[in-house]
Amino acid sequence: MVQPLYAPEPRYFNRELSWLDFNDRVLRLAEDPTRPLLERVRFLAIFARNLDEFFQIRVSGLREQVQAEVSGTSPDGMRPRDQLAAIQARVETLARRHATIFATTVRPELAANGVRITDWIDLKRAQREELRAVFEEQVYPVLTPLAVDPAHPFPYIADLSLNLAIVLRESGSKPTPRFALIKVPANLARFVKVPSARRYVPLEQLIAAHLARPFPGLKVVATHAFRVTRDADIDLDLDEAGDLIVTLESAIEGRRLAPRAVRLEVEESMPLDIRNFLLQELELTRADKYILPGLLDLGALWQLTSLKRPALKDRPWRGVTPPGLSARRGESPDVLAAIRKQSILVHHPYDRFETTVQAFIEEAAADPNVLALKQTLYRTSDGDSQVVGSLVRAAQSGKEVVALVELQARGDEEANIAWARTLERAGVHVVYGVVGLKTHTKVCLVVRSESGTVKRYAHIGTGNYNPETARIYEDLGLLTADPALTADVAGLFNRLTGYSSGRTYRRLLVAPDNLRKSLLQFIADESAAPDGRIVMKMNSLVDPIVIDALYNASNAGVEIDLLVRGICCLRPGVAGLSERIRVRSVVGRYLEHSRIYRFGSDARGPKYWIGSADLMPRNLDHRVECLAPVTDQALTERLAEILEVNLADDVLAWQLGPDGWTKVPTVAGIEAHLRLQELAESRTRRV
């Protein structure tokens, strides 16, 4: 255990507030006038979707702690109730800024470029008539009006659903007001196009304009939009689970009907009495209510990013095929032969997923000399998965095929259940990992018969086997036939599919077995060196034990650079604690998702590791993760280049100080994502 150093300042940033800081950096991209307009729209949608998940998972968890009267504090010293209060204040500011950016800047700019989001009241009569036909044909048949009165109790409001609260009156001398609800259908386009014009009307306004259809004979007094967010976390008791798929399906169904609401969003126009009524029925407090100007649910802006307006988007990037995997014109590449010659590092999206990792799996599935194919699946594409298709074809051709499907990948539980059943029907051996541990590692093993012997090939990556996200997530993968490394991957699969302890690895670092211990030892080794040097790139840095080890290393004279895209609980630049630690975050066109860990100075020759693990307690102690060493000189030079470009970025980069994040001033004009695209193209041109 690392002994903490004394410092008068708080030793850690709060995890939840640090995440909100990350979403703030996403919002800054939407505010950036130099970015293409539809890219700014995309960042507005990403901000909203991020915030939805934050409430579904993190805020719901804190509420549970408050209700359970948990007395403990987070590492930064905040009680659950204190965190909720701080979150509310921060979210109110961010959410209003988000709504204002759309209303005052992005929406007018869209209109100026021929993409008009128009209120119903501003449409011409002919345009209203066109939309009336759309309403009758496409919208009205799926609406369900819900009365709320003594005979009709307040209905269940679905998670993340947009709804209309409607006040009605009957005709007569003393009409009694009535109250009703309509859910805005989530399976229809949120922005409805006027057939004859490049105008879009919010679906809730189209519905509100035609309420005489679902409520004939009643006068509509007022309509107000609101939105509800519910607890979406799934907590399984695996010790009591008989069949994991059945247990998970039951939990998913329970999530759909989760009784616990965690957030109510309302329009500014909604009167106080209706707000209070909704809070009462949803069992929420005033602190759970967020009053927003303008449209709710701006995550739906994602719809507009599919518009074919190339002038309003970033220049498309298809990626390149690395020289080691390219083939002569008219010939098919031999991926396994290329890997036999040397290990290959692939870097997505700069290197194409389809011609690298996907090609590796497809070739192995079709090769008659391949005996076995084993793979972990955490998240894959929603529709037609080429990776899953390759596994199916491999099994159907008589190969031994094993797929470890992580059913508890948050948000993808239902898709993964469907893939698991597809694979099982094809004869694939489907397993679900180790009880009590989520399998997050990304590995694939190919076993092939060659000249009377058996040879192994492996892919060890930082990202999912998903060609869709590989176009927007920055990730690394190592394709290798190194005997020691592939033997370790085989041992890891034996642990995941059987009862092997799997605790003896020659090259791999595996959580929860030896990963934490090894990383702490590497940090300690640098602390003992006269020229200690550490560079780490990750999504999140939360683990207090690792943070304390880095504090100790800083005080021992180690120079430390950290590239942390999202949450960072380490407080850098504090005198007597972290003076030699620098933290940066690169947020831009691609989601920084790779993990690179470098230990050692240039003079001593640094050692590099890549893999799936962030430095969080859940990754180090409660998940199956692995890091692989990268030792070939050409590949380590490539990793060094990636780190150098990220550390030199002054367009997308932010820096963390003792008091929070500030934007790195742009001087040299280096944008990491564009620079890495240029480097990828230059490598292919040289070949």
Determine how many CB atoms are found less than 10 A away from the CB of residue 665. Answer: 8
Q: Among residues 210, 224, 440, 593, which one is catalytic? A: 440
Say how far apart CA 616 and CA 390 lie, in whole Å.
Answer: 33
Residue with tokens 């269940």: 156
Residue 398: closest CA among 419, 377, 376, 373: 373
CB neighbours of residue 221 within 10 Å: 12
Whole-angstrom Cα distance, residue 263 to residue 290? 8
Buried-exposed string 139-150: b where 16+ CB fall within 10 A, e elsewhere:
beeebeebebee
Two tokens, residue 299: 């995550």
Inter-CA distances, 662 with 86, 312, 566, Å: 20, 28, 14
Q: What angle do CA 473, 365, 444 make, to 5 degrees?
A: 45
Task: Single out the residue of 523, 565, 566, 512 nearest to residue 548, CA to CA.
Answer: 523
Task: Output the six-digit token pair for 124.
Answer: 């011409």
Cα separation, 130 vs 195, in Å, equals 7
Tell which residue, 406, 627, 424, has the closest CA to residue 513: 627
End-to-end CA separation in angstroms for the chain: 50
Q: Output the 3-class SS for 298-317.
A: HHHHHHHHHCCCHHHCCCCC
Strand partners, 430: 403
Between CA 605 and CA 601 the distance in angstroms is 6
Q: What is the CA radius of gyration of the chain?
A: 27
The torsion defined by the Cα of 274, 277, 282 and 288, in degrees rounded to 10, comes to 70
What's the one-letter identity of residue 504? T
Residue 16 to residue 65: CA distance in whole angstroms? 14
The DSSP bridge pattern shows strands 509-511 and 623-630 to be antiparallel
Q: How far is Cα 309 from Cα 345, in angstroms, rounded to an integer?
A: 34
What does 524-586 look like in DSSP terms, one character per residue?
HHHHHSTT-EEEEEES-B--HHHHHHHHHHHHTT-EEEEEESS-B-B--S-TTTSTTEEEEEE
Give the Cα separation of 424 and 435 in Å (integer): 20
Give the distance between the most distant pair of CA atoms in the chain: 96
| CA atoms of 343 and 479, how far apart (whole Å) | 6
The owner of tokens 């199956």 is 624
Structure tokens at 545: 């034990």
Residue 440 among the catalytic residues: yes
For the annotated catalytic residues, the residue numbers are: 440
